[in-house]
C-alpha cells in the first residue's frame, strides 16, 4: 500500500509558476511509476506527465510539453511537478498517482486505469 499526499497548489496569474509536490508513504521499498493527472470542471481526468523508476524516463501530454517538468527524489519519496508559463486552461485539480508497473510505458502512461494509488488532489487556479 502506498499513500500519496499532494501539496503546492494555489492561485496564480497567467504566465506564473507553481511547483507541486507529492509525498509518498507506506510500502515504498519497491520502485514505482509515478504520474500527475488533472481534472478540470466538467472534463475527464487526464494524464499530464509521468516518470519511470530507476532511469527516470519521462512522458508529457502535448499540452504541457516545454512548460512542465516532472521529477522525483527517491531519497525523500517525493514527486514534483514544476509548472511554468501557466495558462488559464491549466486550471484543474491535480492528482498524484503511482503503480509498480505500466503495461506499455510509451502509449498507456496517461491512462487512469494504469495506476492503483491516488492522492486526494491539490487545486491549481490560473487567472487571466
- Choose the weakest-confidence range: 13-17, 62-66, 71-75: 71-75
Using alpha carbons, list the distances in angstroms from residue 118 to 14, 72, 104.
28, 16, 20
| The predicted structure's pLDDT at residue 31 | 87
pLDDT digits (tens, 9 = 90+) for 20-65: 999 999 876 568 999 999 999 999 999 999 999 988 999 999 999 9
Q: Dump pLDDT digits (tens) for 94-106.
A: 999 999 999 999 9
Q: Tell me the residue length of the chain.
A: 128
Q: Residue 77 pLDDT > 70, yes or no? A: yes
The CB density around residue 34, as the number of other CB atoms within 10 Å, is 27
- What is the model's pLDDT at position 29? 59
pLDDT at 1: 85
Q: Which helix (H) or strand (E) holds 75?
A: none
The H or E element containing residue 3 is: strand 2-7
Give the pLDDT confidence score for residue 63 in this predicted structure: 97
Amino acid at each position: 500500500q502506498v499513500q500519496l499526499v499532494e501539496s503546492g497548489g494555489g492561485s496564480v496569474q497567467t504566465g506564473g509558476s507553481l511547483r507541486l509536490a507529492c509525498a509518498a508513504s507506506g510500502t515504498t521499498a519497491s520502485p514505482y511509476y509515478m504520474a500527475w493527472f488533472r481534472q478540470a470542471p466538467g472534463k475527464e481526468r487526464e494524464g499530464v506527465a509521468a516518470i519511470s523508476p530507476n532511469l527516470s524516463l519521462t512522458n508529457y501530454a502535448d499540452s504541457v510539453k516545454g512548460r512542465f517538468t516532472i521529477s522525483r527524489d527517491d531519497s525523500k519519496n517525493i514527486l514534483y511537478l514544476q509548472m511554468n508559463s501557466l495558462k488559464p486552461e491549466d486550471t484543474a485539480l491535480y492528482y498524484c498517482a503511482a503503480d509498480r508497473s505500466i503495461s506499455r510505458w510509451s502509449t498507456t502512461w496517461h491512462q487512469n486505469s494504469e495506476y492503483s494509488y491516488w492522492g486526494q488532489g491539490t487545486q491549481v487556479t490560473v487567472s487571466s
